[in-house]
Amino acid sequence: MRIGVAREVKTDEYRVALTPAGARELVEKGHEVIVETNAGEGSSFPDADYERAGARIVSLDDVWSLSELLLKVKEPIAREYPHLREGLVLFTYLHIAADEPLTRALVDSGISAVAYETVETDDRRLPLLAPMSEIAGRLAAQAGAYFLEKPLGGRGLLLGGVPGVAPGRVLVLGGGVVGYNAAIIAIGLGAQVTILDRSIDRMRYLDEILSGRVTTVMSSTLQIESSIADADVVIGAVLVPGARAPKLVTRSMLGVMKKGAVIVDVAIDQGGCVETAKPTTHSDPVYSVDGITHYCVANMPGGVPITSTKALTNATLPYVEEIAELGLAEAVARDRALARGVNVLHGKVTYEPVAEAHDLDYTPLADVLPLMPA
Ligand SMILES: NC(=O)c1ccc[n+]([C@@H]2O[C@H](COP(=O)([O-])OP(=O)(O)OC[C@H]3O[C@@H](n4cnc5c(N)ncnc54)[C@H](O)[C@@H]3O)[C@@H](O)[C@H]2O)c1
């Protein structure tokens, strides 16, 4: 199959959908890889690295028109819509339930679009979202520690303490992928860590693997009110699938917090779990409300593109290989996780929440592809 890698065009997006190592794997399996000029630049992968891996460097027009399978990181933006066409399979983060113009452009073009974020295993894991949550969680602990420094508006506390001086306290709201990764970095820095979650099974698991190094407590409004008063860093990491994040920290709760404490609201991409949170950017990441520093960067992994690109492609490559080897129809017939990723097929919306969101006809994937497993 001829697999293309397009350069990202959204502001502040430095990731690329395939590393030279990934390109080499595909070339060795007999596929042709074409990469748009300078696609890997932001992640420190020059064109020459792709060429050494056996890929061919091509223009923007060629990468879109010659590819059978096109890999991207972010959803196409308006100026990319004219490139969408029938016969092309697009594999990328799409988030089209919140983007009607793109949904209509995909449908009208007749393209087949597979969204990273809806690829879902039978046990409800999201394998192509998890690597970004891992990165955001780890960055959250680092950001919290950094913005505690006095010249940056923080309390002036070293999170890990030193011998003879107590460390700081980190409160993690939601012990999923983000929360777990935030906790292990905070523990590594020497902080005292408490995780609040609503799932007993999840807390049982966290207790088992982090035994003795974190305190897990059932999340409730009363518990949050009392834990937040002691915290130097609060990390918001809750997720209620398919819904906006619940506002667990209200403005009035800020009043009980220590002045100069830091809130890192990672859940900001789902609206945030802190009432006073609003999205910020890497170039202007923090602001203060009632003396509490708020860090609410909506695309945290974008700040570390070398790591993010490698982590993303580690996760996507097995699916890319499946599609390339078998073609989309056969690949989704054999892999139900990948099948759940198909949002649009030959111009039909095959992912129900997207159809519902935009009042479009929903066509079950099995109606379009008779190969679907029962
Ligand atoms: N800002 C960024 O750059 C960025 C990057 C990656 C992920 N995220 C976001 O981070 C959030 C967390 O993602 P994740 O992958 O860890 O999700 P996850 O599903 O792995 O974990 C969410 C956890 O929240 C818990 N939870 C739900 N309601 C709760 C409540 N009321 N109190 C306490 N815990 C509660 C769940 O039980 C679960 O353990 C999501 O909103 C995700 O979109 C943001």
* Residue range 129-177, pLDDT digits in tens: 999 999 999 999 999 999 999 999 999 999 999 999 999 999 999 999 9
Residue pair 372/339 in contact (Cβ under 8 Å)? The answer is yes
Q: Which of 220, 238, 282 for mutating ligand 1's site (highest number of atoms within 8 Å of CB)?
A: 238
Q: How far is the CA of 182 from the centre of ligand 1 (A)?
A: 11
Query: Does the pLDDT of residue 17 top 50, yes or no?
Result: yes
Interval 298-302 mean pLDDT: 92
Q: What is the token pair recorded at 326?
A: 């078998």
Predicted pLDDT at 371: 59
Interval 271-295 mean pLDDT: 96
pLDDT category, 370, cuts 50, 70, 90? low
> Helix 20-28 and helix 305-334: axis angle, to 10°?
30
Q: Is 95 a catalytic residue?
A: yes
Q: Is 49 a catalytic residue?
A: no
Q: What's the CA gap between 299 and 316, in Å, rounded?
A: 19
- Protein residue with its CA nearest to atom 7 in ligand 1: 133
Query: Does the pLDDT of residue 205 top 50, yes or no?
Result: yes
The residue from 49, 95, 230, 346 that is catalytic is 95
The residue from 99, 197, 232, 269 that is catalytic is 269
Interval 281-290 mean pLDDT: 95
Return the amino acid letter for 155.
R
Nearest to 267 by CA among 306, 240, 231, 228: 240
- Protein residue with its CA nearest to atom 33 in ligand 1: 197
Query: Does the pLDDT of residue 373 top 80, yes or no?
Result: no
Q: Which atom of ligand 1 is nearest to the CA of 297?
A: 1
Q: What is the CA radius of gyration of the chain?
A: 22
Q: What is the token pair recorded at 233?
A: 């860093």
Q: What's the CA gap between 234 and 249, in Å, rounded?
A: 10
Place of tokens 């350069």: 7
Measuring CA to CA, how many Å separate 161 from each of 142, 165, 199, 261?
15, 5, 31, 15
Q: Which of 13, 117, 133, 203 for mutating ligand 1's site (highest number of atoms within 8 Å of CB)?
A: 133
Q: Which atom of ligand 1 is nearest to the CA of 302?
A: 3
Which residues have CB under 6 Å of ligand 1?
A: 132-133, 136, 173-179, 196-199, 202, 219, 237-240, 245-246, 248, 266-270, 298-301
Q: What is the token pair recorded at 213?
A: 């190094």
Q: What's the CA gap between 105 and 36, in Å, rounded?
A: 22
Predicted pLDDT at 200: 97
Q: In this predicted structure, which of 1-10, 93-102, 219-228 has the lowest mean pLDDT?
A: 93-102
Q: How far is the CA of 159 from the centre of ligand 1 (A)?
A: 23
Q: Which of 13, 95, 244, 266 for mutating ligand 1's site (highest number of atoms within 8 Å of CB)?
A: 266
Q: How far is the CA of 234 from the centre of ligand 1 (A)?
A: 14
3-state secondary structure the chain: CEEEECCCCCCCCCCCCCCHHHHHHHHHCCCEEEEECCCCHHHCCCHHHHHHCCCEEECHHHHHHHCCEEECCCCCCHHHHHHCCCCCEEEECCCHHHCHHHHHHHHHHCCEEEEHHHCCCCCCCCCCCHHHHHHHHHHHHHHHHHCCCHHHCCCCCCCCCECCECCCEEEEECCCHHHHHHHHHHHHHCCEEEEEECCHHHHHHHHHHCCCCEEEEECCHHHHHHHHHHCCEEEECCCCCCCCCCCCECHHHHCCCCCCCEEEEHHHHHCCCECCCCCEECCECEEEECCEEEECECCHHHHCHHHHHHHHHHHHHHHHHHHHHHHHHHHHHHCHHHHCCEEEECCEECCHHHHHHHCCCECCHHHHCCCCCC
Compare 267 and 271 and report the one with higher pLDDT.
267
Measuring CA to CA, how many Å separate 234 from each of 2, 98, 122, 230?
47, 28, 32, 10
Residue pair 360/107 in contact (Cβ under 8 Å)? The answer is yes
Residue pair 344/111 in contact (Cβ under 8 Å)? The answer is yes
Query: Does the pLDDT of residue 374 top 80, yes or no?
Result: no
Q: How many CA atoms lie within 13 A of 207 on its CB side?
A: 12
Interval 56-77 mean pLDDT: 97
